[in-house]
Amino acid sequence: SAPTGLNLNDIQGDILIGMRKPVELFFFFSIANATAFKKQLKANLPLITTTMQILSNTTASPSTLVNIAFSQTGLTALGLTGAANNLNDSAFAAGQVNDVKNLSDPGTVNWVPQFVGTKIHGVVLLGSDKQANIDNTLASLKTKFGNSVNELYSLKGAMRPAPNKGHEHFGFLDGISNPTITGFQDPKPGQAVVPAGEILVGLPGDNVTRPAWAKDGSFLVFRQLKQLVPEFNKFLADNPIVEPGLSKKQGSDLLGARMVGRWKSGAPIVLSPMFDDPRLGADENRNNNFTFAEPGQTQSNLTDQSKCPLSAHIRKTRPRADLGLPESASSFHHIVRAGIPYGPEVTAVETSSNKTTIERGLAFVAYQSNIANGFQFLQEFWANNQRFRQPGVGFDPIIGAAAGAARPVNGLDPTNPARSLTLTTGEHVFLICPTHSSNNLDADFVVSRGGEYFFAPSLSALAKTLTA
C-alpha cells in the first residue's frame, strides 16, 4: 500500500531505504560550466531514481540507479545566492575538511587528496546488479555532460562475495539496524521509528529554517573509511578473551563481537553473549529486537556490561533504552546508513604478513536532516567521547577517533568489565592478555580517508530550483 504523506516520487531513492545493489560507484565532480551543466541535468532528470522506483522493484526499475547530491560549493557553483543558498547547516556550509578537529581525524594526512579543500561540487551515486551497467550509464553521462563537469575522484563500492554478502570487511553483517520514518514502512521488531524531519529536511521534526526548495532533501555524509583487516584479525587472534569453556578461537571471536556489539552473523551479543547464533543473526524479526537492559533493571542502572560493553559500536551509536527516552526523541541522533564496502578481499600475502597492502574499507554514507545532530554528533560526542554515559567508558573501539592519540576502551573483557584497555596507534597495543604486550600493532583499525558533506535534493528541487 502506498505510504501516506511522503512524496516518494520526489525523494531520491538512496535516502530512506538505500540502493542495496551489489555494485555502486561514487563519482565526485566539479562544475566547469554551470549553464551547460544545468541544461544537461534538466534533460537527464528522468534518470534520477526515486524512492518509489526502488520500492516498486519491478522489471520497470532502471538497471542502473542514479542519485545526485551537491556540496555547499556546488550549490554556489550552480548560482544559488542569499537565503536560497543557505541551508542553515554550518557543517555542510563549511565542508567536511573544516570538521577534521570535531571528528578527531589526525589532520588530513591520511585523506584522499581530492577531499582536502572544498573543490568537490557534487557526487553522482550509481548502483546496479552489474558493473557493466554502471560503466555504460557513466560513459553515456560523461558524453552528455562533456566539458561542463570535471571528474575529480571516484570510488567503486561492491558487496563482498559469498559467503560474506552484506558483511563489511571485518566480517560483520551490516545494514541490519536503520531507523524508519513515521508513515513510511511498517517497522520491523526493534526498529526505531523517527519523525520524518529527522532524516528529511522541511518535514515535521526538522525545526530549522530552510529555503523552501530544500524540502524532501537530506544531507548526505560521505566518508571513505579504510579498514585494516589483517591487522584487526591479528589483534583478535592475539587477544582472545580467556574464559572457561572457550577455545582460543572462540575467545578471539568474542572479543570482536564485544567491540561491535554483534557477532559476525549479525546476532546481537545481548541476546547471545558467549557464542555466535547464526540463525538469530539471519532472522530479521529477532536480530534487532532487543535493548541493553537486563531483566529487572531500572533506568538508573542500565550500565551492566557483562553481556555488552558500554563502548561497543552499536551501543555507542544507538544506546536504545539506555537513554530512558522514547526513540522518537531527537536526542537519539538517528541517521540512515547506506554505505557499501570498497576494495578487494584480503589476499593470502596480506593474511600471512598480517599487514594491509591493498586499500579496502567502507564507503560510508549517512542521511540526516541535520549534520550536527546526526553523523557529527555520533562521531564526536558518542563514539569519541570516553565519558559517554559514565566516566571511563572509553572510545568506540571500531570508529572512535582520538586525533591519532591512544584510545582507552573499557568493558571489552567480560571477566572484568572495569578493566581499561588502551588501543594505541602505531606502536604497542594494550592487550587483554598481558603476555602478548610486545606485539607491534596499529590499533586504529579504521582510518579516515576523509570525505565531504552533501545535500541530496528532491526531484522537484532539481527541476525547478537547481537547474533554473
Instruction: Determine the Cα angle at 226 with ends 419 and 67, to 5°.
Output: 125
- Of residues 26, 27, 170, 395, which one binds ligand HEM by CB under 6 A? 170
> Does the footprint of ligand HEM cover residue 105 (CB under 6 A)?
no
C-alpha cell recorded at residue 19 = 540502493
Distances (CA, A) of 322 to 122, 153, 291, 304, 371: 38, 41, 8, 10, 23
By CB atoms closer than 10 A (0-12, 13-18, 19+), residue 254 is buried
375 binding ligand HEM? (CB under 6 A): yes
C-alpha cell, 276: 555466535
Residues in contact with ligand HEM, counted by CB under 6 A, come to a total of 27
The answer to whether residue 227 forms part of the interface with ligand HEM (CB under 6 A) is yes
Binding residue for ligand HEM, selected from 48, 68, 176, 214, defined by CB under 6 A: 176
- Three-point CA angle 466, 467, 468, nearest 5°: 95
By CB neighbour count within 10 A (0-12 exposed, 13-18 middle, 19+ buried), where does 163 fall?
exposed
Find the shortest distance in angstroms from Cβ 151 to ligand HEM: 25
Contacts of 208 (CB under 8 A, 6+ apart): 88, 89, 201, 369, 370
205 and 198 Cβ atoms separated by less than 8 Å: yes
Binding region for ligand HEM (CB under 6 A) out of 83-91, 127-135, 248-256, 378-386: 378-386
Task: Indicate the residue among 157 and 211 with the shorter CB distance to ligand HEM.
Answer: 157
Selected from 398, 423, 441, 459, the binder of ligand HEM by CB under 6 A is 398
Q: Does 220 bind ligand HEM (CB under 6 A)?
A: no
Site residues for ligand HEM, window 331-370 (CB under 6 A)?
A: 335, 337, 361-362, 364
330/379 with CB nearer ligand HEM: 379
Among 69, 203, 336, 446, binds ligand HEM (CB under 6 A): 446
Tell me the closest approach of the beta carbon of residue 222 to ligand HEM, in angstroms.
11
CB 198 within 8 A of CB 189: no
| Annotation says 444 is catalytic | no
Q: Does 259 bind ligand HEM (CB under 6 A)?
A: no
Segment contacting ligand HEM by CB under 6 A, of 105-113, 295-303, 313-321, 436-444: 313-321
447 near ligand HEM, judged by CB under 6 A: no
* Residue where the block lists cell 522537484: 460
Least gap, CB of 146 to ligand HEM (angstroms): 36
Which of these ranges, 86-94, 167-175, 293-301, 324-332, lies near ligand HEM under the rule CB under 6 A? 167-175
Measured CA to CA, the distance from residue 87 to residue 96 in angstroms comes to: 15
Binding segment toward ligand HEM, per CB under 6 A, in 17-25, 199-207, 314-322, 343-351: 314-322
Q: How far is the CB of 416 from ligand HEM (least distance, A)?
A: 25
Q: Pick from 10, 14, 168, 276: which binds ligand HEM (CB under 6 A)?
A: 168
The set of cell numbers assigned to 424 is 594505541
Q: Does 71 bind ligand HEM (CB under 6 A)?
A: no
Site string for ligand HEM, 262-291 (x = CB under 6 A): x-----------------------------
Give ∠ CA 305-274-189 in degrees, rounded to 5: 75
453 CB neighbour count, 10 Å cutoff: 27
Query: Which residue of the set 10, 14, 99, 174 is catalytic?
Result: 174
- Other C-beta atoms lying within 10 Å of the C-beta of residue 117: 13
In the complex, the smallest distance separating the C-beta of residue 369 from ligand HEM, rounded to whole angstroms, is 15
Sole window of 15-23, 134-142, 175-183, 238-246 interacting with ligand HEM (rule: CB under 6 A): 175-183
Count the Cβ atoms, other than its own, within 10 Å of residue 290.
Answer: 17
Within 349-464, strands assigned E span: 361-368, 407-410, 420-423, 446-456
**Orientation angle between helical segments 229-238 and 248-260, nearest 10 degrees:** 120
Q: Which residue, 145 or 232, has its beta carbon nearer to ligand HEM?
A: 232
Residue from 29, 92, 172, 184 that binds ligand HEM (CB under 6 A)? 172
CB burial readout 382-409, b (16+ within 10 A) else e: bbbbbebbeeebbbbbbbbbbebebbbb
Which residue has cell 531527537?
Answer: 330
Active site residues: 174
Binding site for ligand HEM (CB under 6 A): 168, 170, 172, 174-177, 225, 227, 260, 262, 313-314, 317-318, 335, 337, 361-362, 364, 375, 378-379, 383, 398-399, 446
